Amino acid sequence: MTNIIGCHGSVWSGTFDALAFRKAVERTIAAGFDLIEVPLFDPYSFDATRARQVIEEVGIAVNASLGLTGSTDISSEHRETVAAGEALLNKAIEVLGVIGGRYLVGVIYGALNKHRAPASEDGRQNGLSVLRRVAARAEDAGIKLGLEVVNRYETNIINTAKEAMAYVEEADHTNVYVHLDTYHMNIEEPDMFSPVLRAATRLGYVHIGESHRGYLGSGSVDFDAFFRALALTSYDGPIVFESFSSAVVDPAMSNLLAVWRNLWDDPCHLASHANQFIRNKLCAVDTIRSH
């Protein structure tokens, strides 16, 4: 398998000014990864020009992720909120174009928070309408959109691969893909194998995270089944390690994701271990498939 293997920037830092970005990139490379995924929650303040200089200097691939907030929720029933969300996504596409990214992923279809009720049909349609327009703009820039399937405590729109496939089908745009995350799958899915098969025709991006967001292999995620499914479906997209620590992540992000405790103290060791863990799993299933 020839997947590009990446690391989420939040493993290294909670902020991404020019200095922090360079340090995160250098550490990502030192840990053995091919790609850094930038958490682009505020694309308006991100220095894309300087980031591109770093990327070109060191030679690393880059993608970006974000989660919409209550004030930028494109699945809201309020016109101003929807417009603000669309503007944010368009700005993210602009930034990605400057830095040479190829994927914008995450909870880009609604607000990333705990909801008190199901999404309304009007709100759902608002989100789909925005995504169609953003997908077209992204396609013109050579950027793909990945809709991350997250657990019920972080969205009320798509919590399973089945729901994601239905949503992508309704979006009806070839530039909208499913983004699976093993951490969230371990909460919502019946197993780690069948959802990959269900999403195979539209699977465009993968996050690898343990059940407690710590060291890979130290929790309850069935990674053997997951990687076998990736091999069986010949998935060739990015595979990105994601982990959070309240000692590293911005406090607001820690609170949003309920990261109340630290499961690791050394991000360099954590990331190097994750890089080798992922590559070993890919090697193992590729060996099985080839025989």
* CA separation for the pair 257, 153 (Å, rounded): 9
Interval 38-54 mean pLDDT: 95
Interval 157-169 mean pLDDT: 98
Q: Are strands 144-148 and 35-39 parallel, antiparallel or unpaired?
A: unpaired
DSSP assignment, residue 202? G
Q: Within the chain, where are the H helices?
A: 18-30, 48-58, 79-99, 121-140, 161-171, 182-188, 194-199, 223-232, 251-256, 267-289
Which of 126-135, 145-154, 257-266 is least confident?
A: 257-266
Mean pLDDT (the chain, rounded): 94
Q: Which residues pair with 179 in a beta bridge?
A: 148, 205
Domain extent, residue 258, equals: 5-289
pLDDT in the model for residue 290: 65
pLDDT in the model for residue 264: 84
pLDDT in the model for residue 80: 98
| Residues 156/124, Cβ–Cβ less than 8 Å | no
pLDDT in the model for residue 263: 81
Interval 133-156 mean pLDDT: 97
2 three-class SS: coil
- 49: which 2 tokens? 């020009």
For 72-130, what is each residue's pLDDT tens digit?
999 999 999 999 999 999 999 999 999 999 999 999 999 999 999 999 999 999 999 99
pTM assigned to the model: 0.95
Interval 175-203 mean pLDDT: 98
Please state, for a pLDDT cut of 70, what percent of the chain lies above it: 99
Interval 173-183 mean pLDDT: 98
pLDDT in the model for residue 54: 96
* CA separation for the pair 161, 193 (Å, rounded): 11
Give residue 131's Cα distance to chain centre.
16
pLDDT in the model for residue 291: 63
For residue 162, pLDDT beyond 70: yes
128 three-class SS: helix
For 228-241, what is each residue's pLDDT tens digit?
999 999 999 999 99
For residue 64, pLDDT beyond 90: yes
Closest CA to 253 of 40, 36, 26: 40
Closest CA to 274 of 10, 98, 74, 2: 10
Output the domain CATH number for residue 75: 3.20.20.150
Give residue 251's Cα distance to chain centre.
19
pLDDT in the model for residue 15: 86
Q: Are strands 144-148 and 176-181 parallel, antiparallel or unpaired?
A: parallel
For 257-277, what is each residue's pLDDT tens digit?
777 778 888 999 999 999 999
pLDDT in the model for residue 127: 98
Q: Which residues contact 129 (CB under 8 A, 6 or more apart)?
A: none
> Which residues form the catalytic set?
148, 242
- 156: which 2 tokens? 């009320």
What domain count does the chain have?
Answer: 1
